[in-house]
């Protein structure tokens, strides 16, 4: 974020906030429907599986994003 212009940060935040709010409303509605259709244990298991799948998709980004900027401008691995 140190090398990103403030205008872009504001635009991304302005788009991300309503999207996350809408997604939370939709998923809360879906969770009620899922609870009516199946046991609470299965709903929690499904949520855990979704969490694990998301973590596995982000894992490569965490591995490649483990660089910091040194004083000279070159990226060094920490």
pLDDT at residue 1, rounded to an integer: 64
Q: How far apart are CA 64 and CA 53, in angstroms?
A: 18
pLDDT at residue 66, rounded to an integer: 62
Q: How far apart are CA 19 and CA 27, in angstroms?
A: 12
Q: What is the DSSP letter of 76?
A: E
Per-residue pLDDT of the chain (78 residues; tens, 9 = 90+): 677 788 788 888 889 999 999 999 999 999 999 999 999 999 999 999 999 999 999 999 888 766 555 545 555 555
Q: What is the DSSP letter of 9?
A: H
Please tell me the pTM assigned to this model: 0.57
């Amino acid at each position: 974020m140190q090398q990103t212009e403030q205008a872009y940060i504001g635009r991304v935040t302005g788009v991300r906030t309503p999207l996350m709010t809408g997604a939370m409303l939709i998923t809360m509605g879906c969770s009620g429907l899922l609870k009516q259709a199946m046991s609470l244990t299965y709903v929690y298991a499904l949520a855990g599986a979704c969490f694990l799948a998301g973590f596995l998709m982000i894992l490569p980004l965490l591995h490649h994003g483990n660089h910091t900027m040194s004083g000279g401008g070159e990226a060094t691995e920490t």
